[in-house]
Amino acid sequence: MSQDSLFSSGQELANLVVSSDLLHDSWATIYDLLSHAYNLNNPTSPAPIAFKVYYPYNTNGAIVAFVSSPTCSTVHHIQKEMVSSEDLKSSQLPFDFISTKLNPHFSIHKGAIALFASLLNQLSPLKEQLGSFSPLIITGHSLGASVASLFTLWLLDNISPKDNNKRPTCITFGSPLLGDSGLQQAILERSSWNSSFLHVVSNQDSIPRFLVSPTNGFSGSTPQSCVYRPFGTFLLCSDSDYSCFEESESVLDLMMVMNSNGQQQDNGFLIFNYGPILECLKHRVICKGTSQLSDFGVNQLQAGIIQQLEAIGIGGQWQQTSNMSFLRNMENRVEASFAKKMNAFDPGKKLKKIKEDMTYLEWYKKGTLNEGGYYICFKERRSGSRDVVKSREEIVKRHRILTKYWKRMVAEVEKLPQKEEAAFRTRWLYGGTNYRRMVEPLEIAEYYMKGNRDYVNLGRSEHYKLLEKWMNEDKIGGIANDRRKAVSLTEDSCFWAYVEEAIIASKGLREGSSEEKENSRRNLVNFGEYVMSLIRSYSVSTEIFQPQSTFMMKWWQEYRQDMLSSLYNCPLTFYMENEEYRSYA
């Protein structure tokens, strides 16, 4: 997609946020708590952190506000040290859930953790009480905002991804950055988490910028020394305008620029007061841009970014030639972010097409039923007799499409945090189970056509193993105790691999050495018990008893006499010899 067709929606999003009452209600709550918890004109209270639950809504909603002592919320008192996830685990603070498979390690600001730990005994019962509140706003100022973010993360861990209406919204004012890239990426992996955070930052407030290393002008590069990383959406504002930024690296660069400009206001207030700015911004008409934009031949995306920069008080510097690289970097990041969203793995996008591919295999299975079943027809390169059945080449094509889709699906799910992985199981595992039971037998057929052995241990793809593991854990498509009719699709997708191994074992029983014969006999007894367990639970398709099927033709008919002489007391031998299978078929 070209730059001309892209645009930056930061100011539109900011306008929506500012025009709502959320920011004003949140700040009013913070200011009220500050006034009662601390004497703002003479802050001598020893308590470093305070919180309170407010109920300003007529509905079942609440605002939980966190504020830190004004003396504790100064640059002189905020330290830059971090606490690692390993140390957090040993201290038994409840943040193990943040770790993911892709990001197992993270670090959090030490001061924020210390304040959170001091409130843990009070927050634990509160966490249970807030589960039914909606809307639920968690807000805070300065280091209190960092504690609000930690509390929000703790709440989010209890919420299923499908219960979006129960998610709390965290609105912070003047919050220092909370953690490192490990924390950032772990949150970005959960898109529903990242969208729960809105951070309001004034270009005159030095606290949010304290943990950000300064850089010289619009360099567009992130210094390695800056270990803190942002997450969520940032509403950056000047005393007259504002804009929202969602791309994390651009937020970091902008805060560095704001830091290097050194803007700070002394208004006689011991903490930076966001109240007057919010009132001013709410009544301001959104900037429509300047006439200078057209003079430089900027495209639509550039124009939107320039307006955003001007809104937060640094836009005038973009015209300098030395700063054009900063503008280009922001453009590239917006484009990359848009492309990432467009290319993000969405299982639902191809679901309809995948269902069509499964339909071809279902037709093939039905059309080959009277010719021994789709397993033997596929293995022996036969097509069915029905007109609707496609050629073997077409089935191979559909097989590959389906396998590519589900392999990617499983790989993506493996990367998900535990809660999101569980949500996948609920929505998609039924389809994955049907795919595995329909398609894996075709893969088994190809495997043994090449003369290979022991498919289950040596040839089985990992994605089949995981789909089966997840099915067993979730009990999807499990055995029904009251079933009285055979399933149409054999539940154990490795069934035909065991049949192939039984054929090999039967040959060993006839032709092998004494040791091989004993091993073959033992394997056939186990196979017989396995098949009978499937028959008793009606978990195997009737096609295994079709006259021309692999089961009958390659195993029982060819080795019947050997089975009767060596395994006469095997339940399966008795079942087959007395033709009890006819009632099953």
Compute the distance between CA of residue 541 and CA of residue 535 in angstroms, rounded to an integer. Answer: 9
Element (H, E) at 512: none
What is the separation of C-alpha 332 from the centre of its chain, rounded to a whole number of angstroms?
25
- Closest alpha carbon to 364 in 404, 397, 407: 397
Compute the distance between CA of residue 451 and CA of residue 449 in angstroms, rounded to an integer. Answer: 5
Compute the distance between CA of residue 191 and CA of residue 416 in angstroms, rounded to an integer. Answer: 11
Structure tokens at 576: 């087959």
In terms of Cβ atoms closer than 10 Å to its own Cβ (0-12, 13-18, 19+), residue 382 is middle
One digit per residue, the tens of pLDDT, for the chain of length 585 reads 444 444 456 777 888 888 888 999 999 999 999 888 886 655 555 678 999 999 887 678 899 999 998 877 777 667 889 999 999 988 888 998 898 888 889 999 999 999 999 999 999 999 988 877 888 999 999 999 999 999 999 999 888 666 667 789 999 999 999 999 999 999 988 878 999 999 999 988 888 888 886 543 344 444 444 689 999 999 998 877 888 888 888 888 888 887 666 555 444 455 788 998 888 887 764 444 443 444 444 566 666 677 777 667 676 554 554 466 666 777 777 666 666 665 555 656 666 778 888 988 888 888 887 777 888 888 887 655 444 344 778 888 899 999 999 998 888 888 777 666 666 666 788 889 999 999 999 999 999 999 999 999 999 999 999 999 988 887 755 545 567 788 888 999 999 999 999 999 988 888 888 888 899 999 999 999 999 999 999 999 888 887 766 776 678 888 888 888 888 788 888 888 888 888 886
Count CB atoms within 10 A of the CB of residue 177: 26
Return the pLDDT at 67.
Answer: 94
Element (H, E) at 1: none
In terms of Cβ atoms closer than 10 Å to its own Cβ (0-12, 13-18, 19+), residue 239 is middle
Compute the distance between CA of residue 464 and CA of residue 470 in angstroms, rounded to an integer. Answer: 10
CA distances from 164 to 182, 195, 364 (A): 24, 11, 41
Count CB atoms within 10 A of the CB of residue 154: 21
Specify the amino acid at residue 273.
N
- Closest alpha carbon to 50 in 42, 59, 39, 60: 39
Cis peptide before 135 (omega within 30 of 0): yes
Compute the distance between CA of residue 562 and CA of residue 577 in angstroms, rounded to an integer. Answer: 12
Compute the distance between CA of residue 376 and CA of residue 355 in angstroms, rounded to an integer. Answer: 24
Give helix 10-19 / helix 22-37 axis angle, nearest 10°. Answer: 60
Structure tokens at 211: 């943990």
CB contact at 8 A, 229 and 184: yes
The model's pTM: 0.70
Whose tokens are 């037709």? That residue is 363
Q: Which CATH number fits domain 9-296: 3.90.320, 1.10.472, 3.40.50, 3.40.1130?
A: 3.40.50
Per-domain boundaries in the chain: 9-296, 357-583
Element (H, E) at 109: strand 107-109
Task: Compute and round to an integer the Cα radius of gyration of the chain.
Answer: 33
Compute the distance between CA of residue 246 and CA of residue 232 in angstroms, rounded to an integer. Answer: 7
Compute the distance between CA of residue 18 and CA of residue 311 in angstroms, rounded to an integer. Answer: 13
Specify the amino acid at residue 173.
F
For 391-447, the DSSP string reads PHHHHHHHHHHHHHHHHHHHHHHHHS-HHHHHHHHHHHHHHHHHHHHHHHHHHHHHH
Specify the amino acid at residue 463.
H
Give helix 495-511 / helix 418-449 axis angle, nearest 10°. Answer: 40
Q: What share of the chain is helix, strand, coil (3-state, %, to 5)?
A: 55, 10, 35
Compute the distance between CA of residue 489 and CA of residue 362 in angstroms, rounded to an integer. Answer: 10
Return the pLDDT at 563.
Answer: 82
CA distances from 512 to 206, 242, 400, 452, 521 (A): 83, 83, 38, 18, 11
Within 8 A by CB and 6+ apart from 220, the residues are 253, 325, 326, 328, 329, 330
Query: Is 459 strand, coil or helix?
Result: helix
